[in-house]
Structure 1
Amino acid sequence: MDGLFKDIDILPTQTGQYNIMNTIKPDNRANNFDFLRLLFASLVVFSHAFALTDTSPEILSKYSYGQLSFGGLAVDVFFIISGFLIISSLKQSKSIKNYLWKRCLRLFPALFFMLIFSCIVISIVYTGNNIFREKDFYKYFFDNMTLYKVRYSIPHVFENNPYPSAINGSLWSLSYEFTMYIILLLAYKFKENKKILLTFLISAYLLAVYGQFNTAMLKTFFSEIHLDTSQLYRLASLFLAGSILRIIDIKALNRLSIKLVIFFLIIVTIQFRVYNYFSIILTPTLIILIGLSYSATLNYIPSKIGDLSYGIYIYGFLIQQLFMNYLDLNPYLLTLYSLIVTYILSYISWHLIEKKCLRFKNRF
């Protein structure tokens, strides 16, 4: 999902030396989105480590009264950033075909090679008689390549793990991300008209918010493509909030005092156990304001290693299950070991697959 993964059209500069956290540099494309993606992709691995070692509750879940987890918050952040960035991609696209091509190019090549790697791992850890006679082995690859028919398990794979059978639980969100790309296409014809575009985005946002309280809305339709409406409407509201914040001018809000106030309000909503009602407004605003700022310190590592966020997200769960197949680890050691391996795989994925494929973004 592109919320994890930056659109090549809006790469931040690597040469700018800005040290003021609250300075907005949209024209120079210097921002904190690389750092945020890397941080939250890593937090997904950390969060999964608790479930995959059968250790509960996860730290953030414990202190937020079950309203939040690092993994859930990370996915929310990915969708917020994605909405902010993809609306720019839509505006810059030469045609609908060009827009869809860029979106597919960003998701599918890395996913293809990750699933090839997964099949190799599966064949190694398989404990049945003959992996090549397992119909689900072949379905695992092809079903997951569709995004919408996610297959999580194959018989005799990871069945004795603390979290049994699941091969890659992170793949569920990709279909929701791609669905948001399709929904944005409805705005393509008036992408240059700011008022109409903003009206469309706000209307869609309000509809998504309403859907969170009425999940039966279009439930039959979305169930046909394997989407859960409670998840869809929540993630859609965050994605669209990010898009709205891209269209409107929020430069005046990008002050440290404003960000601290919003953060304080988020803490208050958590303490009063009403975070879910206010998160669709407060969290997108805070994340985009932090993203629009620029810190050379925060972006030092992302600038050196590249955009590994997508790779971390799609490889992390598998690597964690692989470790747990052979070792008895606590969540902290599992996080450490799996992040090392996942970062290496993600580095290879970015530099040898994702980055090279993006050179063809204007082919159509």
Structure 2
Amino acid sequence: MHRGVVFNTGWTVLAASTVLHSMAANAQSSETLYGLVDTGLRYTTHAYGGNGNRVQLANGGASESHFGLRGSEDIGGGTAVIFQLEDRFFLNSGTTDSAYPFFNTAFVGVKTPSFGTLTMGRQFNPLAAAVVRTYVTNAWLPTFYLFRPEVGMAEGAWTSNMAKYSAQWRDVAVEVSYAFGGTAGTFGAGSQIGASIVYSPALPFRLGAAYLDARDAVDTSAHFKSWTAGGSYTLGGTTVSVGWAVNRQDPKFVGNFPNGPFSRAQFVALGFSAFSARQLFFGGVTQRVGQFTRVSANMWRTIQTGKIAAGDGNATQFQLLADYSLSKRTDTYIEADYSQYRGGTVGAQLQGVNGLPSAAGTTQLGLSVGVRHQF
């Protein structure tokens, strides 16, 4: 009897193992290597607080150069395990972008046909994702890498240590997230919560709204809160977009590292510690001209209230951009931007990746021309 039990159990295990191997062999999986290379010439006046002009072979142009690997495996019933890894680098020097970790995007998750998607790792936060899907400027890029004021309002587009749940019902998509601070003995320190809702039918209307709340890494009672709303309308080859975003931070907030985009020193150097509140109003018009050309005009207006009077300020920014497709994967572009900064250090936070501190009363002109290729 004892031997019979062992014998039967062994056959049961062997049969189960055979079934599992058969299922694995029949599972549908796919992995895709993708990327983009982009560089151009950039001219900027009154750089570094107004102390001279700068001409450079830019680290990126319309987009930041990157490569990545994404994949999925069907594990049955339409459910799939998904993952993505992506590195961002400077084409002009061949070095990895030091502002980001080697894998700036790095997550794994499960996607189901009925219950939505759960992903875990470093990824887009709900606020940045909602803006990109609905009313971001230059939506076909999205945003112009060398000049993208609205990105700074998202507390950094990527968040580390994040668990994010996404679901869609017809044309309505929602996302909720929680980024773990990971500080021993202090639950919530450096954490972030987020939520968004997007209405994105085939066209013409698209609407979105989102909210983020980050806790300080040291003082958990201090918060940095952001919210946004906006939409776009497309008629023929013309798209009009408008958006509104708000940042508010408590006096003691100095950063939500390691989840936030900046270290404590960078947070101070870029002037993020100088304001208690700011509002950004922005909008743009994109026109498709023929099959291969897009032209857009954008405007941003920022009003800032400082923690002290010296931090008060405002900024008005304009941009013109033309992009021409040379082929399905390659395009060339020319861009011009102009900014007026008044008071505070608002300019350093609103120039996108440039991060060039502005002196009070500074005006800046930027000109870019470049080429990019996707693979």
Please, what TM-score do these two structures have when normalized by structure 2?
A: 0.25
Which fold has the larger relative contact order, with Cα–Cα distance below 8 Å and residues 6 or more apart in sequence? 1
Bigger fraction of residues in strand: 2
Larger Rg: 2
More helix by proportion, 1 or 2? 1
Return the TM-score normalized by structure 1: 0.25
